[in-house]
Amino acid sequence: MIVSKEAREFTVGILGLSTGKPLIVVNEQDASEMGLSLHSKAYVRSGEKATYASVTTTRTMVPRGRVLASLELAEKLGLKEGSPVAVKPAGLPASYASLLKRMRGERLTYSEMYSIIRDIVDGAYDEAEIAAFLLSQQFYVLDEDELSSLIKAMVETGVKVSFDEPVFDEHSIGGVPGNSKVALIAVPIVASFGLLIPKTSSRAITSPAGTADTMEVLARVDFTAEEIREMAKKTRGLLVWGGKLNLAPADDIFVNVERKLSIDPWHQMVASILSKKLAMSVESLVIDIPVGKKAKIEEHGHADQLAGLFIRQAAKLGMRIKVAVTFGGQPIGMSVGPALEAREALEALINRKGSRSLVDKAILIAGLTMELSGKVPPGQGENYARELFTSGKAYEKFKEILAAQGGNPNIKPEEVPVGRYTYTFKSPLEGAVTYIDNAAVTMVARAAGAPFDKGAGVLFHAKVGYRVNKGDPLFTIFSNSEGRLEEAISLASKYPMITVEGMLLKTLP
Amino acid sequence: MIVSKEAREFTVGILGLSTGKPLIVVNEQDASEMGLSLHSKAYVRSGEKATYASVTTTRTMVPRGRVLASLELAEKLGLKEGSPVAVKPAGLPASYASLLKRMRGERLTYSEMYSIIRDIVDGAYDEAEIAAFLLSQQFYVLDEDELSSLIKAMVETGVKVSFDEPVFDEHSIGGVPGNSKVALIAVPIVASFGLLIPKTSSRAITSPAGTADTMEVLARVDFTAEEIREMAKKTRGLLVWGGKLNLAPADDIFVNVERKLSIDPWHQMVASILSKKLAMSVESLVIDIPVGKKAKIEEHGHADQLAGLFIRQAAKLGMRIKVAVTFGGQPIGMSVGPALEAREALEALINRKGSRSLVDKAILIAGLTMELSGKVPPGQGENYARELFTSGKAYEKFKEILAAQGGNPNIKPEEVPVGRYTYTFKSPLEGAVTYIDNAAVTMVARAAGAPFDKGAGVLFHAKVGYRVNKGDPLFTIFSNSEGRLEEAISLASKYPMITVEGMLLKTLP
């Protein structure tokens, strides 16, 4: 058997599979002669384009001399049935020595960091190496120079969307249920003030709803960079999904592995947020850090440390920033889950009032964003923002945004479809709500089907501080699946979401 | 969109792909309804059998209600075209909490360790989690109880091959080029003494030849457990490949990830070797630890520590063990690469003599193995072994083994085909060989094509201590590919393998 490192020519067939990354199917004999095996990677070239691909072998699906390309590979190289490609075994990625260096806890320069991120984005590494890169940061925390190198490299290895004027944005680190709807109020306020705020957001990964999931209940959120630039010129504000724009694509790769390992290093969080914002040319940014029991950040000291990290990195990267540390000890507003939250935001905009934890927070965030523009006096942002909200200008702007994004601008809250199966938990006693457990709420809403089932979630009838009588409704679970509703009910019975405290704790028997 | 956690029934089609692990191809719409996505895993059941499978989605390759199974999935569940299967999203693996615990550096009990290994072998984890498990051992070294838990769990999650009498074996930790042929001499010596030594070995991963690669030049090495038991009854000794026997299958999974991360923790090495041996019911084992510059172990102190680890673990596991620390400062024998090494071993057996580093080492290892049986007086193993070697009994036994394994027992060394393209490096001066660089030899032999090209490798004409004249041949590179030979020559010119020192260092011009 002869092994050659030189590329061989093959004719391509298209395999109609989404494999998440480029995959090439090679005849077993060809593979064996070329030294390609199941756990190896090939470097595939077609004309000027080239990429790494994972190798899969077959005895039956392709004859010698032909290869099959997965959809991702075909798309990346622009391959069609019958295209010629050159395939060779991929050697060690150029950044491999830098990766090993980081694993030993040594510091990386910008060019070393860039080469790792470049190779990760190009598909040169498998999950194992990516996990090692992330875990090296658990054991040897990135220093601040490395962190800004990481952020810059993440931006440079993706698409940059540019605008003709300064771009503003606001972003919450999340971790509190019900928070996804805040942007549906804050963005139209800022846009109605005249600032450019083409907000990109993500879908929920571990929460019941991301801003993109919630906005999608009312309008489209998947647009190309070109469409976003065009729409933003008209509406000034947008609420779109950043997922398909290829902004800092390393981040999506990291998130997938972090989730598997249940790790969420602060530095990666800062890198994730700032890289996506820089890729959207954001110059002025408000960061919201909710703090409270069972939120992502539970202690004020930690919030301050994280805020410091954001502030120092933003300074290094030439971004204006304000960090708002907000109360995250219970859910935001009265609803959790995409459709329920979309309804609540819409109601607040139409009625020009709503739950204080929602409306006040949105106004606060919008006001801080406006202050960054220098066009409102310091400390006056909140007043300006409240005026835009209560005057109905924010709602008018939201309708423009809905129309631009292909939604129905005149939709009424009650027209938003929510889960058709419901179950209401009632208070077992007279008393006051003293605690709502964020983690239990998230678990129950997800068990009910959120965010995939957009109608699933939890609607609160009482929050902390509310007085309730015995038998008063506390919360209602929504779902479009009876099975899932049952599962959510059983979890909600086992892990109480709401604590009501009164004089009488129990009656017996 | 409704997501249900309940299993759905599908009809199976077979996808003729080897994907290295079970893979299921699901129609995009079915996947989306079930909450299955590209990065998720499905739990697939067919009758009594069930396994995890990675999910791949398609719009075109299967209609709704049907799924495609990769060859590994079909084999694992015994699926055929048209078989019914039940598919549901896989939840978190049962051992997930234990994995996170280990990542935090906490100690695991046997049942926690077992559950992790069980889930790894069952395919519940992706590379990211496996990398995290291995890296956790880099940062928080396994304690000795955890290590024996790991070894036991690795054995329990694979196949055990049992024999009707005590099993002996010898194993080198490797890392020195040319070592793969030692077993071809040691095993027949031990078997000709009457002991049962059905040696399983591995193929080269990072070295130019594994014992299985080298033996395969002369005979078949891939047998079933049943065939091995039958053959061993007759020949007493065997030299087979352990790869397809499913002995401690976790090890193969670990090795693949370790290679990607360039890590090779001692504890995993001990676990790898002892688990495979326990799975083969080995009761008495000799471990060879070569020590020397650019070997796997470079310092004597480290060899002693590693030996201690082997000895304490063997005691915990009820195995008799001897550890031989041997000289590994230059290649073993005069050849490196499967065919060249097979030739050299055959020549030594036929001629009853050969390179001292080969013959003496094989005799030493065989002698220690025999001492473990209690059938030779302590300290006399080497003498007994030498007698079996020089009398030709070992060669007769090797011929029996070759015949049993489907090889030609009467093959002559010169009939073993070696690389058809060769290039010989000559000494630039008169002097003595003072150093041979293991790492350079390995690199050059692999560049020439070893172990995939069985005829590729390096043949030495001189080793450390040899006197050479200017122009005397030092070594010859063999390859079956002209391109690869050139690459090997260029590497050998850049990274000198052999150092010759004399009075005259250089002439000018």
Contacting residues of A for B453, CB less than 8 Å apart: 1-3
- B401, B239 contact by CB (below 8 A): yes
A255 has a chain B CB within 8 A of its CB? no
A101 near B CB under 8 A? no
Residue B132 pLDDT exceeds 50: yes
**Cβ separation B58–A16 shorter than 8 A:** yes
Q: Determine whether the interchain pair B480/A2 forms a contact, defined as Cβ–Cβ distance below 8 Å.
A: yes
Specify whether the CB–CB gap between B344 and B335 falls below 8 A. yes
State chain B's mean pLDDT as an integer. Answer: 93
Task: Please give the angle made by the CA atoms of B184, B189 and B195, to the nearest 5 degrees.
Answer: 115
Q: For residue range A349-383, what is the model confidence (pLDDT) as tens digits?
A: 999 999 999 999 999 999 999 999 999 999 999 99
Which chain B residue lies closest to A61 (C-alpha atoms)? B16
Tell me the residues of chain B between 39 and 98 that have a Cβ less than 8 Å away from chain A.
39, 56-61, 96
pLDDT at A1: 31
Q: Which long-range contacts (CB under 8 A, 24 or more apart) does A351-360 make?
A: A352/A389, A352/A390, A352/A391, A352/A392, A352/A395, A353/A390, A355/A463, A357/A178, A357/A327, A357/A330, A357/A331, A357/A332, A357/A333, A357/A463, A358/A178, A358/A181, A358/A182, A358/A185, A358/A332, A358/A333, A358/A334, A359/A185, A359/A389
Cα angle B380-B384-B389, degrees, rounded to a multiple of 5: 145
Residue A127 to residue B132, Cβ atoms within 8 A: no
Chain A hits for B92, Cβ within 8 Å:
none
Q: What average pLDDT does the segment B217-224 reach?
A: 96
Handedness of CA A119, A123, A128, A130 (dihedral sign): positive
Phi then psi for residue B135, to 5 deg, are: -70, -30
Contact present, A114 and A156 (Cβ < 8 Å): yes
Task: Give the pLDDT mean for B406-417.
Answer: 97
Query: Closest by alpha carbon to B325, among B350, B342, B343, B300?
Result: B300
**Chain A interface test: which of B1, B5, B17, B138 (most A C-beta within 10 Å):** B17
Digitized pLDDT (tens) for each residue of chain A, 509 residues in all: 333 467 899 999 999 888 878 999 999 899 888 888 877 889 999 999 999 999 988 888 899 999 999 998 999 999 999 999 999 988 889 999 999 999 999 999 999 999 999 999 999 999 999 999 999 998 899 999 999 999 999 999 999 999 999 999 999 998 899 999 999 999 999 999 999 999 999 888 789 999 999 999 999 999 999 999 999 999 999 999 988 899 999 998 998 898 888 887 889 999 999 999 999 999 999 999 999 999 999 999 999 999 999 999 999 999 999 999 999 999 999 999 999 999 999 999 999 999 999 999 999 999 999 999 999 999 999 999 999 999 999 999 999 999 999 999 999 999 999 999 999 999 998 888 999 999 999 999 999 999 989 999 999 999 998 999 999 999 999 999 999 999 999 999 998 899 988 755 555 66
Cis bond upstream, residue B451 (ω within 30): yes
pLDDT at B95: 94
User: Is there a contact between B189 and B394 (Cβ–Cβ < 8 Å)?
Assistant: yes
C-alpha A454/C-alpha A119 separation (Å) is 36
| DSSP string over B64-78 | TTEEEE-HHHHHHHT
Which has more confidence, B3 or B440? B440
Q: How many CA atoms lie within 13 A of A247 on its CB side?
A: 28
Give just the sign of the alpha carbon dihedral A79, A80, A81, A86.
negative
Q: Does A213 touch chain B (CB under 8 A)?
A: no
Burial of B496 (0-12, 13-18, 19+ CB in 10 A): middle
Q: Is the ipTM of this complex over 0.90?
A: no
Note the pLDDT of residue A503: 59
How far is Cα A147 from Cα A272, in angstroms, rounded to an integer? 11
Question: Is there a contact between A4 and B60 if contact means CB atoms under 8 Å apart?
Answer: no
List CB contacts of B475: < 8 A, sequence separation 6 or more.
Answer: B424, B425, B458, B459, B460, B461, B462, B497, B498
Q: Which of residues 359-388 of A touch B (CB under 8 A)?
A: none
The closest CB to that of A453, out of B3, B60, B452, belongs to B3
In whole angstroms, what is the distance from residue B111 CA to residue B148 CA? 12
Say if A17 is an interface residue toward chain B (CB within 8 Å).
yes
Beta bridge partners of A241: A201
Could you tell me if B423 and B489 are in contact, meaning their C-beta atoms sit under 8 angstroms apart? yes
DSSP B52: E
Is the alpha carbon torsion for B277, B283, B288, B289 positive or negative?
positive
H or E element at residue A478: strand A473-479
How many other CB atoms are there within 10 angstroms of residue A259's CB atom?
14
Picking from B261, B454, B486 by the largest number of A CB atoms within 10 A of its own CB, the best residue to mutate is B261
Q: B 453-472 residues with CB below 8 A of A?
A: 453-454
- Most A-contacting residue of B1, B253, B480, B487 (CB-CB within 10 A), to test interface: B1
Contact A262/B2, CB-based, under 8 Å? no
In A, which residues are within 8 Å of B264 by CB distance?
none
Judging by DSSP bridges, how do beta strands A473-479 and A457-460 pair with one another?
antiparallel
Structure tokens at B1: 């969109």
Q: Is B446 left (phi over 0), alpha (psi -120 to 50) or beta?
A: alpha
Taking the C-alpha atoms of residue B458 and residue B90, their distance in angstroms, rounded to an integer, is 50
Chain B contact for A104 (CB, 8 A cutoff): no
A3: which chain B residues are within 8 Å (Cβ-Cβ)? 449, 452-453, 481, 484
Residue type present at position A258: E
Judge whether B495 is closer than 8 Å to chain A, CB to CB: no
DSSP B145-178: HHHHHHHHHHHHTS-----SS-EEEEEE---STT
**DSSP class of B112:** H
Q: Which domains does chain A have, with CATH numbers?
A: 8-89 (2.40.40.20), 167-244+262-290+322-404 (3.40.1030.10), 421-501 (3.90.1170.30)
Q: Touching check for B226 and chain A: CB below 8 Å?
A: no
Partnered with residue B239 across adjacent β-strands are B199
How many residues can be counted in chain B?
A: 509
Tens of pLDDT, residues B420-448:
999 999 999 888 899 999 999 999 999 99
Between B4, B25, B484, which is nearest A484 by CB? B4
What tokens appear for A265 in the block? 């290093």
Residues 6+ apart with CB under 8 A from A48: none
Closest by alpha carbon to B288, among B310, B267, B268? B310
Interface check A8 vs B, CB under 8 A? no
User: Is some CB atom of chain A closer than 8 A to the CB atom of B255?
Assistant: no
A417–chain B Cβ distance below 8 A for any pair: no
Q: Is A38 on the interface with B (CB under 8 A)?
A: yes
Looking at this protein, which amino acid is placed at residue A253? I
- A433 has a chain B CB within 8 A of its CB: no
Q: How many beta-carbon contacts under 8 Å exist across A and B?
A: 133
CA atoms within 13 A on the CB side of B356: 7
Which residue in the set A132, A454, A484 is minimally distant from B261, CB to CB? Answer: A132
Handedness of CA B251, B254, B256, B258 (dihedral sign): negative
Contacts of A434 (CB under 8 A, 6+ apart): A464, A499, A500, A501
For strands A66-69 and A23-27, give the pairing.
Answer: antiparallel
| Pairing between β-strand A282-291 and β-strand A167-172 as defined by DSSP bridges | parallel
Choice among A222, A264, A304, A472 that is catalytic: A264
Residue (of B90, B3, B95, B7) closest to B46 by Cα position: B7
Asked if B20 lies within 8 A of A39 by C-beta distance, the reply is yes
Q: Please give the model's pTM, rounded to 2 decimal places.
A: 0.82
Q: Report how far apart the first and last C-alpha atoms of chain B are (Å, whole number).
A: 82
Of B20, B61, B480, which is closest to A17 when you measure between CB atoms?
B61
Cβ <8 Å between A132 and B129: no
Q: How far apart are CA B208 and CA B331, in angstroms?
A: 11
The H or E element spanning position B288 is: strand B282-291
Please state, in angstroms and rounded to a whole number, the distance separating the CA atoms of residues B413 and A114.
Answer: 53
Tally helices (H) and strands (E) across chain A: 18, 19
Q: Are A483 and B15 a contacting pair at CB < 8 A?
A: no
Residue B243 is predicted with a pLDDT of: 83
Q: Give the amino acid at B504.
A: L
Of B132, B122, B125, B129, nearest to B156 by C-alpha is B122
Tell whether B19 is within 8 A of chain A (Cβ): yes
Contact yes or no for A84/A12 (Cβ under 8 A): yes
B220 CB-contact burial (10 Å; exposed 0-12 / middle 13-18 / buried 19+): middle
From chain A, pick out residues whose CB is under 8 angstroms from the CB of B131: 127-129, 131-132, 135
Minimum distance, in Å, between the CA of residue A2 and any CA atom of chain B:
5
Q: Which pLDDT band, with edges at 50, 70 and 90, does B503 fall under?
A: low
Instruction: Kindly give, in sequence order, each residue whose CB lies less than 8 Å from that of residue A485, ignoring residues fewer than 6 positions away.
Output: A419, A421, A422, A423, A448, A477, A478, A479
The answer to whether the Cβ–Cβ distance between A56 and B20 falls below 8 Å is: yes
A487 touches chain B (CB under 8 A): yes
pLDDT confidence of residue A504: 55
Residues 6+ apart with CB under 8 A from A139: A105, B139
Instruction: Inspect the interface and report whether the beta carbons of B4 and A103 lie closer than 8 Å.
Output: no
Q: Provide the 10 A C-beta neighbour count for residue B110.
A: 15
